[in-house]
Amino acid sequence: MPLVQSQTRIRTELPLRPQDEVECRQCEVRCDKVVYPAACVARGCPFLYAYEDHGHTFVGCMQKVYGVEIDLEMLSAAEARRDGFGAVRALRKPLPMCRAEVEPCYEGRSGDLGCVNPEFLELPLGQPTFRVFAQIGSRP
């Protein structure tokens, strides 16, 4: 009987700028960056657009940080509840004005050393948080 191999693939190389990625699949814990559309409304984000259709107002992000259009009345009703509307998965790097977080899934799968890609957890500040000024390596 043949052995069944796992269908999950783990990337072994780190991306050049992990903080700019919207998902991390470096280990068995699956992390995604999420944004809170209600914060866009509350903060009056300049990239928030609205339109009316069938008697409802829908809002979305012009920069496509998230790809859904949300009924404003339903968003407001959800925000009035204790848990609020919640987050949606980011499709692009969140902007510095976005209320963004990293949402891990399957946290019980994390290794003893913790996150293998800690730079992914850095949220946008408008510029890189570090600068490489020298590389150490062997000379030919």
pLDDT at residue 3 greater than cutoff 50: no
In the chain, % of residues over pLDDT 70: 74
Q: Which domain holds residue 39?
A: 34-109
Q: Are 48 and 62 in contact (CB under 8 A)?
A: yes
115 found inside a domain: no
How high is the pLDDT of residue 1?
A: 46
In the predicted structure, residue 14 carries a pLDDT above the cut 50: yes
- In the chain, what percentage of residues exceed pLDDT 90? 44
In a domain, residue 26? The reply is: no
Q: How far is CA 1 from CA 4, 5, in A?
A: 9, 13
Question: Rounded CA gap, 140 and 6, in Å?
Answer: 40
> What is the predicted pLDDT for the residue at 6?
46
What single-letter DSSP state applies at residue 112? T
User: Is residue 117 situated within a structural domain?
Assistant: no
For residue 10, tell me if it sits in a domain: no
pLDDT tens digits, 41-99: 999 999 999 999 999 999 999 999 999 999 999 999 999 999 999 999 999 989 988 99
Establish if 100 belongs to a structural domain: yes
Least confident of 3-12, 102-111, 116-125: 3-12
39: confidence class by pLDDT, cuts 50, 70, 90 = very high
Q: Which residues contact 94 (CB under 8 A, 6 or more apart)?
A: 33, 35, 65, 100, 123, 124
φ/ψ of residue 51, rounded to 5: -150, 160
What is the per-residue pLDDT for 52?
Answer: 96
Q: Does residue 100 contact residue 90 with C-beta atoms inside 8 Å? A: yes
- Asked whether residue 62 is assigned to any structural domain, the reply reads yes
- pLDDT score at 117: 78
Asked whether residue 16 carries a pLDDT value surpassing 80, the answer given is no
Considering only 11-15, 22-26, 43-47, 55-59, which range has the smallest mean pLDDT? 11-15
The number of distinct structural domains making up the chain is: 1
